Amino acid sequence: MTLVCAPVVATSVEEMEQDMAKAKSLGADLVELRLDFLHHFQPDIDLPRLISNRPLPVLVTFRPNWEGGQYQGDDSTRFSALRSAIELGAEYVDIELKVAEKFISTIPDNRPDNFKLIVSSHNYEFTPSSDELSDLVARIQAAGADIVKIATKAIDICDVARMFQVMVHCHAPIIGLVMSERGLMSRILAPKYGGYLTFGKLDAEKESAPGQPTITELLDIYNFRQITADTKVLGLIANPVKQSKSPILHNKCFKAVGFNGVYLPLLTDDLGKFLDTYLSPDYVGFSCSLPHKVTAVRRCNIVHPVALSIGAVNTLIRRPYDGKLVGFNTDYIGSISAIEDGIKGSSSKGDAVSPLAGRLVVVVGAGGAGKAVAFGAREKGARVVVANRTYERAVTLAKELGGHALRLAELATFHPEEGMILANATSLGMYPNVDGTPIPKEALRFYNLVFDAVYAPKVTRLLREAQESGVSTVSGVEMFVRQAMGQFERFTGMDAPESLMREIAMKYT
């Protein structure tokens, strides 16, 4: 079992005691006492107090500044404190590889049975090659480590693969972590690759190294205790990615249906490199968002025809029998089915002819979402008009669809017929610019239904004004839930737990 270790980086003994208690209440298995963070540290008084009152096993670390820590003094004082920690019963002590032999020569051979020495190496600049990492593991073992610890920095998410490779081949217990947001998967997938422990911080401010998730995120979002070597890996490939609610949504739903998978935020710079690196059959599927949706079309072996015409893939599935990547676009399914259900008295389920057939749909926006809604509407037999801030993009998209293009300003008077549908697929009105709207309120009466792809806030200015004008509305949350349901079903081969998804989307979007 991979342990969850809470780094305790308080500056006073009192606060360290409180943090240890908090770590226990949050579900950590051990705490790392970072003695180098303490102001006015008095080893003879503080160590017995901290160690004898520990509510969890402790790892004692006294990191010098030459290895990225806070301690600026000499090694003999540091070694003496670490020796005291061992004598007082600390379960683990961490010593840096550079001084490991020197330190080990000062401690007795007959250490307590439950004591383990971690010998660590930190690289805050980059992740070395696989050969260099293997060599490092060998040197750490030769130095006398009970547990090997290597922490490096991810410049690119693909750097993490080298750490995983070294971890699975290591015969000794190993902690392998890759720092920074691009290395997050190394921390969450530690159980899959046999990591001895991972660090989970107490809260957002209390990290001891960049990229640590909180204990609550590890346990409640990523279902860390359920991750094993067999766990399937999924995730959202995007940049930026940390604002996404998809990890919460998919992981909670995986847990609810008993699917052995974990869904990660995957901060990715180069989609092709990512897909060429993470080739294992265990990496079964990915969501794909900005800026990779268009590149994804080229990187898939097979692309669903509608995704091909949209020119964007937001879902990649690895076919289990031949490993080929198949690309889909669930944004179009999500938006179109939400609009269909929103058209009064209709349901997209089971009807042979779509309620969109023959309707005039005005799509505002010519980006990824705009294309998904426009091609989806055309697929269902609607006539499509595209309006966009950059008029040339509206013209290009309209040509591809066989429709007309408008300038945004023309929306104020555009009213060729009754019963039109308006779909906003721009970011106008999205948090934090919640006052934005693509069309004057007075023009909304020309429409039967207004859909907004924006889901933060749930009720945008556009939707509010449409409701005030007596027009039916469909929220972006509907699209979000439905595109996620489409992904979930492709990821797991199971029915999506729709009501749970709605509940989570309402809570977190």
| Residue 175 vs 428, nearer CB to ligand NAP | 428
CB of 354 to ligand NAP, least distance (A): 20
3-state secondary structure of 286: strand
Q: How far apart are CA 58 and CA 53, in angstroms?
A: 11
List the one residue from 212, 476, 485, 488 that touches ligand NAP (CB under 6 A).
Answer: 476
Residues 393-412 that bind ligand NAP (CB under 6 A): 393
Closest C-alpha to 231, from 197, 282, 195: 282
Closest C-alpha to 239, from 185, 290, 167: 290
Q: What is the DSSP letter of 508?
A: H
Q: Note whether 453 binds ligand NAP by CB under 6 A.
A: yes
Q: Round the CA-based radius of gyration of the chain to a whole number and report it.
A: 27
Peptide bond into 173 cis (omega under 30): no
List the one residue from 152, 315, 388, 460 that touches ligand NAP (CB under 6 A).
Answer: 388
Provide the mask over 226-245, with x wherever binding to ligand NAP is found by CB under 6 A and - wherever it is not: --------------------
| Amino acid (one-letter) located at 433 | N
| Encoded tokens for 361 | 């749909």
CB of 445 to ligand NAP, least distance (A): 22
Peptide bond into 240 cis (omega under 30): yes
Q: What are phi and psi of 273, to 5 degrees?
A: -65, -40
Q: How far apart are CA 354 and CA 360, in angstroms?
A: 13
| Residue 193 vs 480, nearer CB to ligand NAP | 480
List the one residue from 64, 191, 367, 486 that touches ligand NAP (CB under 6 A).
Answer: 367
Q: Note whether 457 binds ligand NAP by CB under 6 A.
A: no
Q: Answer yes or no: are the C-beta atoms of 324 and 349 closer than 8 Å.
A: no
Q: What are phi and psi of 179, to 5 degrees?
A: -80, 165
Q: Note whether 462 binds ligand NAP by CB under 6 A.
A: no
* DSSP one-letter string for 439-497: S-GGGGGGEEEEEE---SSSS-HHHHHHHHTT-EEE-HHHHHHHHHHHHHHHHHSS---
| Residue 198 vs 289, nearer CB to ligand NAP | 289
Q: Answer yes or no: are the C-beta atoms of 501 and 253 closer than 8 Å.
A: yes
CB of 473 to ligand NAP, least distance (A): 14
Cβ burial of 389 (10 Å; 0-12, 13-18, 19+) is middle
Strand partners, 214: 201
List the one residue from 118, 430, 449, 501 that touches ligand NAP (CB under 6 A).
Answer: 430
Candidates 22, 116, 122, 371; catalytic one: 122
Active site includes 149?
yes
Candidates 149, 201, 206, 252; catalytic one: 149
Q: How far apart are CA 349 and CA 104, in angstroms?
A: 70
CB of 304 to ligand NAP, least distance (A): 17
| Residue 184 vs 338, nearer CB to ligand NAP | 338
Stretch that binds ligand NAP, among 137-145, 215-223, 244-252, 479-487 (CB under 6 A): 479-487
Candidates 36, 46, 159, 331; catalytic one: 331
List the one residue from 128, 342, 368, 403 that touches ligand NAP (CB under 6 A).
Answer: 368
| Residue 120 vs 487, nearer CB to ligand NAP | 487
**13-43: buried (b, 16+ CB within 10 Å) or exposed (e) per residue?**
beebbebbebbbebbbbbbbbbbbbbeebeb
Q: Using CB atoms, what's the residue nearest to ligand NAP?
A: 367
| Residue 190 vs 485, nearer CB to ligand NAP | 485
Q: Note whether 369 binds ligand NAP by CB under 6 A.
A: yes
CB of 362 to ligand NAP, least distance (A): 13
- The order of strands in the sheet holding 58-61 is 174-179, 147-153, 116-122, 92-96, 58-61, 30-34, 3-8, 197-199
Q: How far apart are CA 380 and CA 353, in angstroms?
A: 8
Active site includes 331?
yes
Closest C-alpha to 55, from 88, 38, 30, 79: 30
CB of 112 to ligand NAP, least distance (A): 55
Q: Note whether 342 binds ligand NAP by CB under 6 A.
A: no
Q: Note whether 479 binds ligand NAP by CB under 6 A.
A: yes
Q: Note whether 196 binds ligand NAP by CB under 6 A.
A: no
| Residue 60 vs 369, nearer CB to ligand NAP | 369
# residues contacting ligand NAP (CB under 6 A): 25
| Residue 93 vs 462, nearer CB to ligand NAP | 462
List the one residue from 216, 226, 396, 427 that touches ligand NAP (CB under 6 A).
Answer: 427
Q: Note whether 310 binds ligand NAP by CB under 6 A.
A: no
List the one residue from 390, 416, 493, 494 that touches ligand NAP (CB under 6 A).
Answer: 390
Binding residues for ligand NAP (CB under 6 A): 290, 331, 334, 365-370, 388-390, 393, 425-428, 430, 453-455, 476, 479-480, 483
User: Active-site residue numbers?
Assistant: 122, 149, 293, 331
